[in-house]
């Protein structure tokens, strides 16, 4: 009873990697099994569960979420019911503006206020005005008045934007009632960390009868076990015992170990994030819903472009469909591209307080106008490249208002631009020779890992100091390598095995999954119990929150 009390009313969120969540989910599935044949009751129950799950993550911020559900539902209906193109576009702009302003307010409001105070030597205090109003209504202390971005606010905003845009494009009909919209926007397996599911892909599933056969059940269990293994072993174990030690105090170790720590970070961030979405996909499938595949062996990528087709695919698809293509994609550009470049320019000046950037931008503008005038088709290529850069920089800023995130996004954007030209002259672009493929995978993986130095070390000067330590104190020798390899032996073995398993052919992994699917239910349950006990016994005490909770 005490455990149930803590589960339902305790302060801790229900993370997928914690035993509490699985006790909660077993209870949910028990009730779900009694209601699953009655669609209205099933959907209402899941909606209530989702709101409770979000409450455990964000506390009374769930009330603000509920309010946003009503305005998005109403605006979606107004777009759908109107045949006047101008009115439809006006309502869409109102809806998008509201959602983006909410995201900017909660995610970037504190940063902008602090930066403004520093720039103009003022002392403005920023409070969460919604929390202040809530305290006036519910009583003092009900809400924390400090402004912070509640978990899932980015993903909920993207789901809302997808809903409004898909209705505007007539890709999907609006939901029948506000309860169905709440179901779509708060479905608990993916409400906090995704994957981002487009309205046109998910809403039709709300109205279908529940279906779960042995193949679906087996697939769901495989995804959950894969996710747990990635999170607890590839992510938490390596981070706690190796990566964090080296990255936190790099000067205590030789530089070559910093390189290995960054390789470990790439494995960590993959295990942490894809582990979550694997588990979310499995949990959703047990309840009869299909979420999009969010990762596709990203470290097998042959180029930066290939990597971004494999990594966080739902976010990539969102930015491509709702930002990159509306800006003009790889075909054209125009006012939208120039406005976005101007906004990004002002933002960079604001966060860096380096006003000389204005002169650099002015010089680039003059150069652009000169080249457009004298070189045919130059404008086409510039627009394509600008749209790529804008998309990747916005992706960096989505992670947080930091110049290091901007640098990370810019480096990846520039790499995509360079690749578009390089692939036309590359002698081995279409080569199937194993050595060429291995080289392209090695190069791509190391470039992505290099850019993540700015992702992992978020203090402005930290990446430069880390790189300086690597180059000046590399100190590689067989003796030193052997000493540290043996000192971090379990972690090094996990790192090596993790990368080997990742690089195994997909056909081999598929055969393993098919073998599990062919097992009878009793054997499957035995495997599940054995793996879960082994996982939790092996990594006791190293479990940590999911990294993308911060974004």
> pLDDT tens track of the chain, all 551 residues?
445 455 554 556 778 878 788 888 999 999 998 988 888 888 889 988 988 888 877 776 777 777 788 889 999 999 998 888 889 999 999 999 988 888 887 777 777 777 777 777 777 676 665 556 666 666 666 555 555 556 667 788 888 899 999 999 999 899 888 888 888 888 888 877 778 888 888 999 988 888 888 899 999 999 999 998 999 888 888 988 899 889 888 888 999 999 999 999 999 999 999 999 999 999 999 999 999 889 999 999 999 999 999 999 988 888 888 888 887 776 666 677 777 777 777 777 776 667 777 777 778 777 777 777 777 776 667 777 788 888 888 888 888 777 888 889 889 988 998 898 888 888 887 888 888 899 999 999 999 999 999 988 878 788 989 999 999 998 889 999 999 999 999 999 999 999 999 999 888 888 888 888 888 888 888 888 888 888 777 665 666 777 776 66
- At residue 146, the 3 state secondary structure works out as strand
For 377, which DSSP code?
A: T
Spans of all domains in the chain: 37-209, 213-296+477-551, 299-460
DSSP-assigned letter for residue 548: G
Residue 231's CB is within 10 A of a number of other CB atoms, namely 27
For the chain, the farthest-separated pair of C-alpha atoms sits apart, in whole angstroms, at: 78
The answer to whether the CB of 72 falls within 8 A of the CB of 95 is: yes
- To the question of pTM greater than 0.75 for the whole model, the response is yes
Task: Name residues whose C-beta falls within 8 Å of residue 110's C-beta, 6 or more positions apart in sequence.
Answer: 126, 147, 148
Q: Which secondary-structure segment (H or E) carries 47? A: helix 39-58
How far is the CA of 239 from the CAs of 168, 230, 251, 540, in angstroms?
A: 44, 12, 18, 14
* Residue carrying the six token digits 């940063």: 111
pLDDT at 64: 72
Contact 419, 428 (CB under 8 A): no
351 closest CA partner among 20, 76, 36, 119: 119
Instruction: Say if CB 268 and CB 239 are below 8 A apart.
Output: yes
The count of C-alpha atoms lying within 13 angstroms of the C-alpha of 75, restricted to the half-sphere facing its C-beta, is: 25
What is residue 17's predicted lDDT score, i.e. its pLDDT? 78
Residues 6+ apart with CB under 8 A from 26: none
Write a three-state SS string for 389-457.
HHHHHHHHHHHCCCHHHHHHHHHHHHHHHHHHHHCCCCCCCCCCCHHHHHHHHHHHHHHHHHHHHHHHC
Closest CA to 261 of 246, 241, 240, 271: 246
The DSSP-derived string for 176-207 is SSHHHHHHHHH-TTTTTT-----HHHHHHHHT
By the 8 A CB rule, do 408 and 454 touch?
yes
Q: Which residues contact 53 (CB under 8 A, 6 or more apart)?
A: 14, 188, 191
Contact 415, 447 (CB under 8 A): yes
- The whole-angstrom separation of Cα 296 and Cα 502 is 10
Query: In sequence order, what are the residues at sequence separation of 6 or more whose Cβ sits closer than 8 angstroms to the Cβ of residue 113?
Result: 124, 125, 126
Q: In DSSP terms, which residues pair with 447 in a beta bridge?
A: none
């Amino acid at each position: 009873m005490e455990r149930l009390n803590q589960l339902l009313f305790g302060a801790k969120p229900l993370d997928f990697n914690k035993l509490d969540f699985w006790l909660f989910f077993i209870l949910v599935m028990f009730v779900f099994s009694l209601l699953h044949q009655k669609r209205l009751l099933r959907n209402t129950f899941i909606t209530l569960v989702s709101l409770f799950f979000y409450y455990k993550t964000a506390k009374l911020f769930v009330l603000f979420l509920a309010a946003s559900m009503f305005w998005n539902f109403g605006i979606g209906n107004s777009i759908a019911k109107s045949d006047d193109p101008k009115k439809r576009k006006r309502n869409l702009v109102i809806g998008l503006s509201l959602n983006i302003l909410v995201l900017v307010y909660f995610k970037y409001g504190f940063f902008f206020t602090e930066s403004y105070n520093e720039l103009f030597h003022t002392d403005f205090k920023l409070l969460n005005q919604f929390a202040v109003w809530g305290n006036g209504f519910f009583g003092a202390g009900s809400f924390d008045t400090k402004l912070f971005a509640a978990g899932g606010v980015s993903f909920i905003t993207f789901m809302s934007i997808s809903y409004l845009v898909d209705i505007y494009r007539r890709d999907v009909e609006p939901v029948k009632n506000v309860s169905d919209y709440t179901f779509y926007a708060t479905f608990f397996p993916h409400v906090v960390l995704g994957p981002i599911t487009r309205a046109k892909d998910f809403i039709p599933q709300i109205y279908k009868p529940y279906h779960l056969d042995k193949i679906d059940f087996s697939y769901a269990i495989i995804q959950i076990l894969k996710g747990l293994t990635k999170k607890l072993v590839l992510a938490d174990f390596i981070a706690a015992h190796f990566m964090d030690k080296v990255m936190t105090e790099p000067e205590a170790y030789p530089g070559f170990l910093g390189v290995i720590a960054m390789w470990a970070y790439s494995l960590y961030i993959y295990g942490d994030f894809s582990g979550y979405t694997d588990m979310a996909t499995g949990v959703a499938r047990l309840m009869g819903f299909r979420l999009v595949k969010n990762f596709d062996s990203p470290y097998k990528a042959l180029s930066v472009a290939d990597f971004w087709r494999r990594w966080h695919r739902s976010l990539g698809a969102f930015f491509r469909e709702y930002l990159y293509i509306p800006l003009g994609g790889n075909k054209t550009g125009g006012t939208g591209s120039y406005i976005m470049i101007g906004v990004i320019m002002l933002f960079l000046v604001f966060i860096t307080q380096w006003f000389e950037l204005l002169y650099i931008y002015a010089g680039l503008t003059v150069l652009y106008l000169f080249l457009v005038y004298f070189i045919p088709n130059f404008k086409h290529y510039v627009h394509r490249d600008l749209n790529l850069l804008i998309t990747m920089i916005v992706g960096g800023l989505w992670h947080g208002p930091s110049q290091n995130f901007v640098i990370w996004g810019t480096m990846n954007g520039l790499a995509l631009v360079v690749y578009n030209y390089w692939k036309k002259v590359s002698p081995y672009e279409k080569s199937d020779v194993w050595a060429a493929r291995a080289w392209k995978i090695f190069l791509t993986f190391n470039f992505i890992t290099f850019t993540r130095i700015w992702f992992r070390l978020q203090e402005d000067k930290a990446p430069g100091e880390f790189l300086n330590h690597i180059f000046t104190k590399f100190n590689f020798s067989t003796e030193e390598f052997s000493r540290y390899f043996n000192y971090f032996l379990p972690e090094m073995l996990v790192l090596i095995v993790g990368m080997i398993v990742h690089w195994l052919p997909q056909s081999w992994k598929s055969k393993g999954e098919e073998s599990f699917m062919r097992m009878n239910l009793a054997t499957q349950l035995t495997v599940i119990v054995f793996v879960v006990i082994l996982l939790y016994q092996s990594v006791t005490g190293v479990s940590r929150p999911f990294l993308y909770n911060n974004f």
